[in-house]
Amino acid sequence: MEVVKSFFETPEPARFTGIWSWLFTLDHKRIGLMYLYAIMFWFLVAVLLGGILRLELMFPGETVLSADLYNSAFTLHGVIMIFLFIIPALPAVFGNFFLPIHIGTDDVYFPKLNLLSWYLYMAGGVVAIFSLFSDGFADTGWTFYVPFSISTNTNVSTAVFAAFILGFSSMLTGLNFITTVHKMRDKAMGWLQIPLFTWSLYATAWVQLLATPVVTITLVLVMMERFFNVGLFDPARGGDPILYQHLFWMYSHPAVYIMILPGMGVISEIIPVFARKSIFGYKAIVASSLAIAIAGSLVWAHHMYTSGMSDTAVFVFSLLTFVVAIPSAIKVFSWVATLYKGAIQMTPPLFLSLCFIYLFSVGGLTGLVLGAAGANIHVHDTHFVVAHFHFTMFGGTGFAFFAALHYWWPKMFGRMYDFTKAYIAAILVTGGFMFHYVPMFILGLQGMPRRYYDYLPQYAGGNFFAGFGALFMILGIGLMMANLFASLRKKRDMESNPWGGVTLEWTIPSPPPLHNFVQKPKIMVYPYDFSGIVDTPANKSEGA
Amino acid sequence: METESHIVAYKTLGLVLGALLVLTAVTVGASYIDLGWMNVWIALMIASTKAGLVLVVFMHMKFEGRAVVWSFVSTVLFLAIMIGFIFWDVAFR
């Protein structure tokens, strides 16, 4: 392939140089990387906060955090992880970078809107930080439940406003992706020739666009309640506190699918490449992405079984919750079936993907425990919920993010990381994860409530072990990031297709040029046809 | 990238504006009459008609292709389902 300048050397617009060429860039790849740096920063901050929370819980009584500080710390941990890391992580970083390439085009449909989304994301983060230094960060948890969020003296309004701004960033990204897929897809690419990661982004974008306005307006209502005492959620004035929960979860449950769907898309990309085999059930995976997006938007009230809503609603939402497990299971079956009799080549991205499948399956199955109304009432608001949520969101989306980083890193930066360190880090994170969250399932079943800085003596053992797990996990994350970023010191000499992938990003140079394609992309009849792949350069470049 | 433009006649725009104003007056008028359980439904129907007129004429929905029209219809349908599902709770509490 002829040598072409990468997007690192060709700013867009061309008149800007240095830092300005990044801050004013309209190139989807640079915007993706700007998200990456910002998201990594917030992720590490939230990991640190999570570590401090676990340190507090490692021993009974007050150790490193007071009760009030603990409340603010877990709220901040949740707000950062949800709104600044998990929701934007995969769509904003890898979606921005790879969606246009996957569909054979040179950018997203609205490049300026794309940059605005990044600025809104940054503004949301700055406002969240600002709220820390004015009357203290909210102590409500990331759910901002009324009536407490209306009556507490901490700075709920600013924290809520931060989430409001971040909501706009998410909506604009979703709008951009939907329009791009419809309007800018290569004319030779039919709907059933689109790579599965892009399909998952498309399904996610619809949820972002439809559900996010609900929570943004709900958060505005919370502010109105705080400033003007409107009475929307106050029964004494004819309001309904359960209405807040409906409105909040109407977004926030679909939001977990905003978080997990792109993760599933990443795994659907990685598994066939390293199994050297066409993905099993392409159409079923596409259909299940859409089914998850639709059905997942109709199960929100399973968070509210103990809120006092009607038994009829409990029955309906419990039933629907079981329905949404079906498309998720279809994906897991398809991934495992893809691996079956494949010529498996173990690499760090595949290893992390396998960890994803295991952890997400545990998370999904424990979700059914919570979806069943009877069982839910016993473990509601206990550490069982904390463990389930982290198994799906961290074991799921978090591990998919790690897998995506390791899979697309050589394409984005043109450099390969050290495989041995990558494996050690992945084992540390996964082992630490299990050690950290499995005790929480047991603690939850024993009745330990969540969101308390202290506990009864019988819970001491489990919390002590969970703290150790957290330590290993944090060490693993640190090693993983250090290993990836250490590779940036190497010479940029990565070939275009180190893994032997077949989607369009592997047909262009690493890193890609400004307009992605030097020649008109050749669209394959089927996007996962590995019959033309005979060599696997990753083996040669391993640890290089 | 193609850009399409459609020019709607002033007469059509004026008629729609007139219809919106009339419907606003109807909304205000209806609020003075107690029709029992139909109060909310009538207010919602008038508001939906107004929103429909704005979308179809002012926002050029009638010139859009099937994908955009269906995207919009499914959005409204989805919102209706979401609001409808809350009634599983409120109606049976």
Which of B78, B81, B88 is opposite residue A310, by nearest beta carbon? B88
Q: Which residue has the tokens 């991205």?
A: A349
Please tell me the distance in Å from A294's CA to the nearest CA on chain B. Answer: 9
**Predicted local confidence at residue A543, as pLDDT:** 44
**Closest residue of chain A to B3, computed from CA coordinates:** A183
- How many residue pairs from chains A and B have C-beta atoms closer than 8 A? 40
Name the residue among A401, A389, A393 with its Cα closest to residue A426: A401
**Domain at A20-527, CATH from 3.30.70.1450, 1.20.210.10, 2.20.28.120, 1.10.230.10:** 1.20.210.10
**Predicted local confidence at residue B70, as pLDDT:** 86
Q: Say how far apart CA A401 and CA A415 lie, in whole Å.
A: 18
**Predicted local confidence at residue A538, as pLDDT:** 57
Q: Is residue B3 part of a domain?
A: no
Contacts of A15 (CB under 8 A, 6+ apart): none
Is residue B49 located within the same domain as residue B15? Answer: yes
Name the residue among A34, A43, A47 with its Cα closest to residue A173: A34
Query: Is B82 in Cβ contact with A182 (below 8 Å)?
Result: no
Query: Is B91 in Cβ contact with A298 (below 8 Å)?
Result: no
Identify from A183, A210, A307 which residue to disrupt to test chain B contact, counting B C-beta atoms within 10 A and taking the largest count: A210
**Predicted local confidence at residue A139, as pLDDT:** 83
Which of A183, A298, A311 is opposite residue B81, by nearest beta carbon? A298
Q: Which domain holds residue B43?
A: 9-59
Q: Is residue B85 part of a domain?
A: yes
In tens, the pLDDT along A66-113 reads 998 898 889 889 989 998 999 999 999 999 999 999 999 999 999 999
CA distances from A388 to A139, A192, A441 (A): 22, 34, 8
Length of chain A: 544
Query: Is B1 in Cβ contact with A183 (below 8 Å)?
Result: yes
Query: Is B67 in Cβ contact with A297 (below 8 Å)?
Result: no
Residues of chain B neighbouring A318 (CB-CB closer than 8 A):
none
In DSSP notation, A166-229 reads: HHHHHHHHHHHHHHHHHHSS-TT--GGGS-HHHHHHHHHHHHHHHHHHHHHHHHHHHHHHHHH-
Is residue B49 located within the same domain as residue B68? Answer: no
Is residue B18 located within the same domain as residue B33? Answer: yes
**Closest residue of chain A to B75, computed from CA coordinates:** A210
Task: Collect the ranges in chain A with pLDDT lower than 50.
Answer: 1, 543-544
Q: Say how far apart CA A421 and CA A482 lie, in whole Å.
A: 9
Residues of chain A neighbouring B89 (CB-CB closer than 8 A):
242, 246, 301, 309-310, 312-313
Q: Which residue has the tokens 């409105």?
A: A247
Q: Tell me if chain B has a CB within 8 Å of the CB of A311.
A: yes
Q: Say how far apart CA A461 and CA A59 lie, in whole Å.
A: 9
In tens, the pLDDT along A322-365 reads 998 999 999 999 999 999 999 999 999 999 999 999 999 999 99
**Predicted local confidence at residue B1, as pLDDT:** 47
- Domain count for chain B: 2
Name the residue among A248, A125, A127, A103 with its Cα closest to residue A176: A103
Is residue B51 located within the same domain as residue B27? Answer: yes
For chain A, the structural domain boundaries read: 20-527
Is residue B53 located within the same domain as residue B23? Answer: yes
Q: Is residue B46 part of a domain?
A: yes
Helix (H, G, I), strand (E, B) or coil at A6: coil
Three-state SS string over A224-241 comes to HHHHHCCCCCCHHHCCCH
Is residue B50 located within the same domain as residue B74? Answer: no
Q: Is residue B52 part of a domain?
A: yes
Is residue B55 located within the same domain as residue B19? Answer: yes
Identify from B66, B70, B85 which residue to disrupt to test chain A contact, counting A C-beta atoms within 10 A and taking the largest count: B85
The chain B residues in contact with chain A (CB within 8 A) are 1, 67, 71, 75, 78-79, 81-82, 85-86, 88-93
Identify from A248, A312, A317 which residue to disrupt to test chain B contact, counting B C-beta atoms within 10 A and taking the largest count: A312
Which of B67, B89, B91 is opposite residue A301, by nearest beta carbon? B89
Q: Is residue B2 part of a domain?
A: no
pTM above 0.95, yes or no: no
**Closest residue of chain B to A305, computed from CA coordinates:** B89
Q: Is residue B1 part of a domain?
A: no
User: What is the band of B65 on the pLDDT scale with cuts at 50, 70, 90?
Assistant: confident
